[in-house]
């Protein structure tokens, strides 16, 4: 499989850029697909039943569109999808991809599933325990960079500086990965501290902006293709955006294995193994939180244990199809942290997320009257104009509420006097980083 080009749908650009370095280290040629446009949706609708969820149409359409582009040798290309299992329709993605390939007479193309059951060789692809640990470390760095970039980007004095810093850290961490560095606990802590300090030094314009959180089904929550570049739209509208990290979903998924045994019975061994994994994930999460709180004034992520306690206010932890209680808990957490305006991105066909998202809005608003939550549906028939109009209505309410609060306390726009900062290594050539 190492002489194949493995195509993967893109979802989290920062995280996946780091993850690619890990795969490179093990000799796998991974390419995250960036192709967009009407042809992607058309291919998805052509080869996926329209009762299937919208993310399935997009990722399968993106894969088929890429295969038809002529860019790849169809005898040396493979497709890779992540699998979480459970009652979500995403558990059927691999089958649906294979079915589409068969109709195209491309059924010779390997389709790989990335999940815990991949521990061992599967079709020439091997996911080992050391590799999993390195992938989790890449997610840790990705969460930190996404968090800090979102809080700096709307206020930066020198436009583009925050993104330049993200690009620098992706290359710098990638250079460490190539040398087998950046994975030890001491190295992770040091890197996170330096990352936080570098973003803290970017000169920023301090002004009052609407703070908007984004939750929803994991693909449309993160993917630009899935949510029609939602984050970019909100930033252009003058908002600060907060998107909960990917680590929270991983913690939630592992925690579900423990909850299953507690609620319904099952293997105690499975519970013990899941508990060990959970402790490691919490350790990575705590490193981000401590670095952000110690070296900056940025808003740090809330601990997973805190999210669990918030969920208990409004929903049972036994509700765990799709993003389950985590989605509800993320809304509550965002509202409590000052991101009272929340976009709940929901794809057509995702019944669990309509229940734990749209279905919980009334109860959340009862507990938190200032919550300004809008569910946005994403499907082939939903127009971008309609979605943006609904977002603008939400933002009109957000600005009205913000003006009321601002007038109570008053305030002035202030510039940071800190000098523009980029680490010295940024000045080195890409060759020297290798």
Angstrom distance (rounded) from CA 301 to CA 213: 12
- pLDDT band at residue 116 under the 50/70/90 scheme: low
In the chain, the percentage of residues whose pLDDT exceeds 90 is 70
Q: What is the predicted pLDDT for the residue at 279?
A: 94
* SS3 call for 401: helix
Compute the Cα dihedral for 388, 392, 398, 402 and give only its sign. Answer: positive
Count of helix runs (H) and strand runs (E) in the chain: 17, 12
Helix ranges (H only) for 10-119 are 13-25, 38-47, 54-68, 93-103
Q: Does pLDDT of 130 surpass 60?
A: yes
When pLDDT is averaged across residues 113-134 and rounded to a whole number, the result is: 69
Instruction: Report residue 419's pLDDT band, with 50, 70 and 90 as the boundaries.
Output: very low
Length reported for the chain: 434
pLDDT band at 206 (very low <50, low <70, confident <90, very high): confident
What's the mean pLDDT when you consider all of the chain? 88
Tell me the C-alpha distance between 333 and 298, whole Å.
16
pLDDT in tens, 389-413: 999 999 999 999 988 877 776 655 4
**With 60 as the cut, is the pLDDT of residue 143 above it?**
yes
| Residue 415 pLDDT exceeds 50 | no
Position 427 scores a pLDDT of 35
Q: Which residues, in sequence order, are CB contacts of 105 under 8 Å at separation 6+? A: none
Angle, to 10 degrees, between the axis of helix 268-295 and the axis of helix 185-200?
Answer: 40
SS3 303: coil
Average pLDDT for 224-241: 96
The rounded percent of the chain whose pLDDT value lies above 70 is 90
| Cβ contact 325:363 at 8 Å | no
Q: Is the dihedral of CA 181, 166, 204, 152 positive or negative?
A: negative
Question: Which architecture, in CATH terms, is 209-245+301-409?
Answer: 3-Layer(aba) Sandwich (3.40)
Q: Using alpha carbons only, how large is the chain's radius of gyration in Å?
A: 22
Task: Using the predicted structure, report yes or no on whether residue 268 has a pLDDT greater than 80.
Answer: yes
Joined together, the tokens standing for residue 43 give 């291919």
Residue 334 has pLDDT above 50, yes or no: yes
Which residues, 6 or more positions from 334, have their beta carbon under 8 angstroms from its beta carbon? Answer: 213, 215, 242, 244, 340, 342
Residue 9 is inside which H or E element, if any?
strand 5-9
Q: How many angstroms from the chain centroid is the CA of residue 222?
A: 5
Q: Could you state, in order of their start, the residue ranges of all structural domains in the chain? A: 5-127, 209-245+301-409
Q: Residue 420: is its pLDDT beyond 60?
A: no
**Most confident of the ranges 32-41, 113-122, 401-410:** 32-41
Torsion angle defined by CA atoms of residues 31, 35, 39 and 44, in that order, rounded to the nearest 10 degrees: 50
Tokens of 256: 């579900």
Poorest-pLDDT segment among 15-19, 92-96, 155-159: 92-96
Q: Which two tokens stand for residue 380?
A: 């082939």
Which pLDDT tens digit goes with each residue over 170-189?
999 999 999 999 999 999 99
Residue 155 has a pLDDT of 96
């Amino acid at each position: 499989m190492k002489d194949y080009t493995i195509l993967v749908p893109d979802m989290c650009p920062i995280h996946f850029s780091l993850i690619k370095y890990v795969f490179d280290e093990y000799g796998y040629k991974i390419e995250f697909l960036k192709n967009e446009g009407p042809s992607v949706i058309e291919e998805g609708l052509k080869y996926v039943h329209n009762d299937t969820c919208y993310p399935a149409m997009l990722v399968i359409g993106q894969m088929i569109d890429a295969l038809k582009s002529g860019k790849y040798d169809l005898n040396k290309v493979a497709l890779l999808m992540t699998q979480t299992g459970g009652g979500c329709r995403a558990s059927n993605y691999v089958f649906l991809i294979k079915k589409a390939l068969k109709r195209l007479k491309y059924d010779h193309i390997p389709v790989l599933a990335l999940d815990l059951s991949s521990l061992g060789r599967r079709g020439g692809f091997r996911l080992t325990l050391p590799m999993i640990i390195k992938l989790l470390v890449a997610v840790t760095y990705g969460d930190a960079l996404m968090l800090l970039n979102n809080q700096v980007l709307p206020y930066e004095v020198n436009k583009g500086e925050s993104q330049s810093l993200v690009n620098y850290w992706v290359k710098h961490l990638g250079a460490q990965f190539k040398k087998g560095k950046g994975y030890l606990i001491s190295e992770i802590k040091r890197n996170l501290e330096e990352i936080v300090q570098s973003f803290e030094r970017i000169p920023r314009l301090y002004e009052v902006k609407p703070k908007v959180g984004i939750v929803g089904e994991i693909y449309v929550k993160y993917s630009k293709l899935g949510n029609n570049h939602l984050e970019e739209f909100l930033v252009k509208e003058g908002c600060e955006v907060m998107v909960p990290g990917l680590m929270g979903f991983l913690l939630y998924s592992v925690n579900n294995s423990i909850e299953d045994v507690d609620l319904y019975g099952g293997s105690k061994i499975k519970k013990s193994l899941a508990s060990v994994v959970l402790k490691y994930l919490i350790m990575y999460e705590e490193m981000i939180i401590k670095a952000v709180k110690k070296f900056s004034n940025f808003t740090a992520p809330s601990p997973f244990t805190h999210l669990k306690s918030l969920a208990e206010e409004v929903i049972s932890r036994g509700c765990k199809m799709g993003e389950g209680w985590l989605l509800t808990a993320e809304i509550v957490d965002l509202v409590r942290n000052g991101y009272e305006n929340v976009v709940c991105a929901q794809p057509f066909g995702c019944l669990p997320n309509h229940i734990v998202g749209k279905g919980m809005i009334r109860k959340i608003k009862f507990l938190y009257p200032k919550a300004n939550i809008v569910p946005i549906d994403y499907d082939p028939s939903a127009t971008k104009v309609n979605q943006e109009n609904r977002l603008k209505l939400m933002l009109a309410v957000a600005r009205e509420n913000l003006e009321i609060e601002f007038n109570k306390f008053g305030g002035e726009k202030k510039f940071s006097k800190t000098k523009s900062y980029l680490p010295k290594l940024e000045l080195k050539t890409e060759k020297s980083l290798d």
